[in-house]
Structure 1
Amino acid sequence: MNSLTLRIRNKSGATMVSNAFIDEYMSDANGEFVKVYLYLLRCVSHNKQLSISVIADKFNHTETDVIRALKYWEKMKLLKLTYTNDILTEITFVDHSNTEESKPVNEEHEVNVVQASVFAAAEISASNTQPEKERKQIPAYSADQIKQFQENSDIKQILFVTEAYLGKTLSVTDINTLLFFYDELHFSLDLIEYLIEYCVSKGSKSMHYIKKTALAWAEEEITTVSQAKASTNLYNKNCNTIFNAFGIKNHRPVEFEVNYINKWTNEYAFTLDIIHSACTRTLKQAHQPSFEYADKILTEWHNKGVKHINDITLLDQEHKKVKACDKPKEVNIGKNKFNNFNQRSYDYQQLEKELLNIK
C-alpha cells in the first residue's frame, strides 16, 4: 500500500494539538469527549470566554454531557478542574508528555468558565491519591541509552513483537514506555509480550492503554504470565457480571467504566452480589444503565459499612422504619360543612298527588 503525503497551504488561525494527545489519548476516548477537548483548545488558543452552556449549545449536548466530558479528561490527567463554592470556575490544561516537542503548559493556558452547572465537589472530583508506581514518570531515555538497550536480545524481541501487534513503527515515546516496563517495572520478556497481546485482544492498540494496564499489574505485584492471566480472568469475570447486570451485551469497557469497576471491587472490596444489587436498583430507578448512579448507591453502602449482602437488607428495613415514622398521621376532622346537617326524608307519592291537584 502506498504511503500518503500530507500538505497544508495555510497555517493561519490554527489550533495546536499535542502529539501525545493524538498518539496516546484520542483513540481510547469517546468521540464526543474529544470534540469538547478540542473546542477547549481552540478557545484557549484564541482567548475566548465561554461557559458550560455555550459548549453544550455548540455541540447540541446537555450541560451534563459537557461536565461528563470534562470529568473524563480530568481522570486522564489532561485537565485540572477548579471549583469555587462547588461551582466549576476554571479549567487548566495539564501537560504530562516527556518529549521535547511538548512544552509544559504555562499560566496562559487556562480557561475561565462561568455559568457552570452546580455539582457537589464530592460528586465531581475523583480521588487524587495515586499509587507510587503510577505517579512515577516514564524516563526520557537518550539516543545512546536506547542504542545500548537495543543490543540486548530481549529488548530487540520486545520491540519486534510490539511493532507486529500494533502494526506500526514505534515512536520514541513508545520505545521509552517499553523500556520503562523492562527497566523500571522489571517485567520479563514473556510478561511484556503477554501484556501487549492482552491489550490488543481487548481492542486497544493505544500505548497509553498498555501503560495503564502495566501500571495496574505492577501495583498488584504481578511478575509472571500466570499471575497476569489469573488477574485478567478475574477482571473479565467481574466486567461480564456487572455488564450483564446492566443488560449490556457485546461492549468493551471504556476507561471510566474500568475505573468504577476497580473502585468497587478493589477500593470498596465489594463482592459481585453486592455490586449486582446496586446495578439492579440503578435500572429500577434510572431506567437505564448508569455507572455514576450505581456508584452513588455503592458509595453510600460503603460509607454505612456494608460488607455482606445481608447488610443491605438490614439497611432497607431501617429505611422503611424511618419512612414510616416520618409519614404524617391521618387526622379525623369529623363532619364538614357538606355533611353536617340532618338528612330529610320525602314521601314522593304524596308530593305527586299534591302537584296533580294544583289547578
Structure 2
Amino acid sequence: MAHLTIYRETTPDSTVVSNIFIDEYMRDANDAQLKVYFYLLRMMSARQATSVSDIADKFNHTEKDVLRALKYWQGLKLLDLDYDNEKNLVGIHIRDLSAGREISSEANSGRASSFVPAPAVAPSASSRFSRTVSSETMSADAAPQPAMAVPSRAVLTGAVTADIAPQSSGAVAEDAAPQPFSAPAQVSAPAGDVPSYKKPSYSADQLKAFRDRAETAQLLFIAESYIGRPLTPPEMKTILYFIDVLHFSDDLIDYLIQYCVDKGKKDFKYIEKVAVNWAEEGITTPAQAQKQICRYDKNVYTVMNGLGKSGSPTRKEVEYINRWIKEYGFSTDVILEACERTVLATDKHRFEYAEGILSSWKRQNVHHKSDISRVDEAYRQRQKPAAPPKPANRFNQFTQNSYDFAALEEELISN
C-alpha cells in the first residue's frame, strides 16, 4: 500500500514556548522583555520577518525599550544579535534552550532558528549613559543564573556586548522629600555613575509654583495645541519632570511632543518613555533628537534603500522624505514606485529626480498606487505624434469656379 501524505491548508496557529524558559527565565523578566521574546518566537514560528520599529509599534514601546529587551535576553544567552560592519542590527538568532542540558552545540549545528529584521542601529557601548556593571558588582551572594543555553548554530563572538545587566541592590537612594519648584541648573553626573531619572511625586504646591512661571504658560499652550485638549494635572507634572529631572529645554519639549503626536502617540506614558530614552542618550537639543530619530525611523531607511542609498541620511534627504510622507501624503508603496523609476533613470541627484516625479503626481491628484497607471496613460497620449495632414487631391489643385446655373438658364431662355 502506498504511503499517505498528511498536510494542512494553513500554517500552525500556535507558538511553542519551552518549559525551561517558563521555569527559569520568565520569573525575573519584566513586561517589555517578555513581550519581545514571545513575539520573536511567534514571528520565527510563522517564518516572518520583523524589525525593531515594528516591535515597538506593536506593543506601544520605544525602539530603545526593544533594544534593551534584546540586550537582556542576549545577556542571558537566550539569543544572539547579528550586526553588519556599520553596527546595524541585521539578524536575531534564537538559541535552543534544551541544547545546553542534553547535547553539545556541535551536535546541534544546522538547527538554526533565526530571522532578519529591518536595519536598526544598535546603541553604542561607549554611550554617555550606557549601563555597565563591573565584576565587583556581581558578588558571590548574587542570585544564581539559570543554566546557559547552547547556540544551535555558529555565531560571531564579540560582536556586541550586553550593556544592560542586573543592578546591585541599593544603587539608587530613596528620593528626598520634594521641594518647591525652581528652575534647575545643569548638573553633570560623576564619571562612572548612571544618572537616576526616577520621577518624583510632585505636590500640589510644587505644581502651582510651576504653573505660575511666566514661561510655563506658553509651554503648556504648545503642548495642549499638539494634544488637542487641555492637559490634566498628572500630565502637567510630567512636563515638570522633563524640566526638573531630565533638564530638557522648552524647545526640546516642544520637539518631543510634536514628534510623538506625529507618530500618532498622544499618551503621556509613551511620551515620557521617549523623553527618558533621549536623556539616557545625552540628547539636549532638537537637532540631536532629530538625528537620533532618523536612526530608528523605518520609513526613512525604506526610502533610502529604495533609492540605492546606504548609511545615515543627510538633513536635506530627511527633509525630502518627510515632505513626501507628511506634506504630499503619499504611502510607502507610491514613494517606492517613484524611487524605482528614479534608479532606472539616473545615477545622480536621485532625491531631486524623485521629488520631480512625486510633485508631479501630487499635482495630478495621485493618492494610491493604482492612480499612477491613469497618469502614465495620460502622459503617453500627450506624447503621441500628431497625425500628418492629408495630401491635397491632385485633381483639385487648380482654382475652382462657381456658377449660378439658375441665372444662366433664365438668360438662355430669354434669348
Give the shorter-chain TM-score range. 0.3 to 0.5
* Greater gyration radius: 2
Structure holding more helix per residue? 1
TM-score by length of 1: 0.36
Q: TM-score, normalised by structure 2?
A: 0.31
